[in-house]
Amino acid sequence: MVSIERFLGEPGHIIDGVRVAASDGGTLPVEDPATGEVFASIAAGTPADVDRAVASARAAFRDGRWSRLPGIERGRILTRLAALIRDHAEELAELETRDTGHPIGDARFDVADTAHHFEYYAGLAGKSVGQAHQLANGQLLNVVHVPAGVVGAINPWNFPIAGAGLKGGPILASGNSMVMKPSNLTSLSTLAVAELAIEAGLPPGVFNVVTGSGSVVGGAIARHPDVDIVSFTGGTETGMQVMRDRADVGRRVQLELGGKSPTIVFEDADLDEAVPAAAFGIFMNQGQNCSAGSRILVQASIHDRFVEALTARAAAIRVLPPFDPRAQQGALISGEHLAKVDGWVQRAVADGARVTTGGRRLTDAPFAGGHFYPPTVLADVTPDAAVFQEEVFGPVVVVVPFTDEAEAIALANATRYGLAASVWSADIRRAMRVGAAIDTGFLWINTINSHPIEAPFGGVKDSGFGREEGLAAIENYMVQRSIIVGGDRFVDPYAD
């Protein structure tokens, strides 16, 4: 193992290019989810800290140190940041694993993905496309895209370093300054990326990070009148509160919220492919994934065979301490979250569900002290059951039969969410037909959990609105400006 001490300095925010303590000196403990050990601390942010960070971001935006820098130069700096992330990849991966409980292999993937995001958006810096229209009387209309200003980026705890790149890449490439708020449960890698950004040459005040609780720091960002846009990823109820806060100050918001995504498997699907795909769709990242395929809808003629095969595949997934290179699933984020996940399972059993594998937390060695829950499959679940309707956000999946296309579509659309969906069939016309009828912002056909950076990602219904990734993310953080150039001589309308 490499040393992560470089990124475990005194607890503090990153404001105006330097690490600073909370205004009242407060701190919060950082726990290793795999052991329960407190191994670091972060600054417990205050509204005063948010005010300071926003003022720093506004000053940086106003004086143009970043917003008026040529796009190609912004791109060079973001490319240098990506290179530094790659240079420190192993340190960052170990920091991420310690902070999140992710298997080390998954953390390495996320670090590389973060660098990839900064590289991708570096190539888009300064490349927004406008319009030009010749109007009557010789007037010329130019429509240009300009950076919005100060962006508040509020990230969840499930993919912290990847979230820093997913939001930070397009926000910075488009010329904005930002105040990023990572989850208080997983702040360390975001602070590390901000420090590397300064090393890469990002001007002070452009990439600020304020750590602390969601209710205090996130709420202060959401309610701040000098934050032009808030981009929030997290739970639906919290997102709705963020939207209410933004409405109170009359400012923009983009929301990527919860999901209860269906995986639909027709009887002609290749089960040798569909079963492991469905397992990966739910159990990746311990099921702590907003687009997890947590409802598997299987045609009745193959339902029992599918449940048997999925149960065997889930039971074979290697749940191990996350630094074990063999680990395929690590720890849940916290003891509180583990209790919620287990509570959903026990409620489902009380409502008549049948556990075919898993269903109890792991407490024996080597799991003592950590927050481990095995892959869990629930059969005999009815569509009105809470576990079918609501997001568990853990390694728990329900399998429900359907008879025909119409019932599959009705079941897929029977929740308040609409983030992602996956359809499996050898008949591509049927898969396309069914997919088109599902309420979803992201659709996979005969694949799952593919998130190419070029693909706009986001949901419908209670899963939020706005899109991240691809060119759409750049558009999130810019505003259109119409510029009209006079043609003929201006005629005084008040003249006699």
Question: Per-domain residue ranges for the chain?
Answer: 5-257+463-481, 262-445
- At residue 1, the pLDDT reads 66
- Catalytic sites, residue numbers: 256, 290
Cis peptide before 366 (omega within 30 of 0): yes
Q: Is 159 within 8 Å of 167 (Cβ atoms)?
A: no
Q: What is the pLDDT of residues 385-398, one digit of tens each?
A: 999 999 999 999 99
* pLDDT average, residue stretch 19-25: 97
Which CATH superfamily hosts domain 5-257+463-481? Answer: Aldehyde Dehydrogenase; Chain A, domain 1 (3.40.605.10)
- At residue 40, the pLDDT reads 96
Token code pair at residue 58 = 């506004």
- At residue 9, the pLDDT reads 83
Q: Which conformational region is residue 251 in: left (phi greater than 0), alpha (psi within -120 to 50 degrees), or beta? A: beta
Q: Give the number of other CB atoms < 10 A from CB of residue 92.
A: 29
- Spell out the alpha helix ranges (H) of 123-187: 160-173
Q: What share of the chain is helix, strand, coil (3-state, %, to 5)?
A: 40, 20, 40
State the Cα angle at 214 between 209 and 218, rounded to 5°.
Answer: 55
- At residue 136, the pLDDT reads 87
Question: Who's near 473: CB < 8 A, 6+ residues apart?
Answer: 121, 166, 169, 170, 456, 467
Report residue 205's pLDDT band, with 50, 70 and 90 as the boundaries: very high
- At residue 488, the pLDDT reads 87
Among 3.30.160.20, 3.30.70.260, 3.30.390.30, 3.40.309.10, what is the CATH number of 262-445?
3.40.309.10
**Dist. CA 373–CA 371, nearest whole Å:** 7
pLDDT of 8 higher than 90: no
- At residue 112, the pLDDT reads 98
Q: What is the pLDDT of residues 458-485, one digit of tens each?
A: 999 999 999 999 999 999 999 999 999 9
Q: What is the pLDDT of residues 227-275, one digit of tens each?
A: 999 999 999 999 999 999 999 999 999 999 999 999 999 999 999 999 9
Q: Measured on CA atoms in the order 415, 419, 425, 427, is the torsion positive or negative?
A: positive
